[in-house]
Structure 1
């Protein structure tokens, strides 16, 4: 199993960043390069505790489906999305939101624990390719969240 963490300073208050992070529409618009779409479950709007969404996207030239659920949620501080079905043996993504700069900004932290299928080849893929690739996806999503939550827009 692999783990990575990404911390991003977002110039908007935690409730705004929390809501944007749970938005199916914001997520979809951040992943345009993978043609990611919500195709089942909650397909637009804001996710909440217990909601499920099935995503379809192209990665590495293949179309993948992943169904995740919001398994924990404490607005506006924390939520977790976990894979229910999909390509990973494990996918557990913790999102935390801490006030920064007297609450005018948010320190957003993503902690992703994941395991690829088919060990030991999957474990090798985690180390050689997936960890870097997935970190880049989170960084792209977070840059998009920074943009859509800007207060000076």
Structure 2
């Protein structure tokens, strides 16, 4: 069963800045401090780019998790697709981010 949802955020920041922040490993790590999410392999800092992977270690739902994601599509600065290739959401973990 496919499930989807849409989240729309209004901001005064520019599209290019938001596009970069959304691909920032450092920003993601800071925002997920509560779950102790840490990049442990692949791209572990800076901006992730098309075709690259990041592996994460985190605690979610009281469980230690290991997850890996790959950027499988990118149209700078309007869209990228982040696909979980290993982990609990491997077959359903497709995130498309759009900026306009």
Question: Under a length normalisation based on structure 1, what TM-score does the superposition of the two structures give?
Answer: 0.62
Q: What pairs up with 1:101-120 in 2 under 5 angstroms?
A: none
Partner of 1:72: 73
Larger radius of gyration: 1
| Residue 65 (structure 1) shift | 0.9
| Residue 38 (structure 1) shift | 0.5
How many residue pairs match? The answer is 98
Taking CA–CA contacts closer than 8 Å with sequence separation of 6 or more, which of the two structures ends up with the larger relative contact order? 1
Partner of 1:95: 97
Structure holding more helix per residue: 1
Q: What pairs up with 1:1-150 in 2 under 5 angstroms?
A: 1-88=2-89, 89-98=91-100
* Distance in 1 between residues matched to 2:36 and 2:12, nearest whole Å: 27
Q: Give the unaligned 5+ runs of structure 2.
A: none
Two-structure CA RMSD over aligned residues (Å): 0.8
- Runs of at least 4 residues off by over 2 Å: none
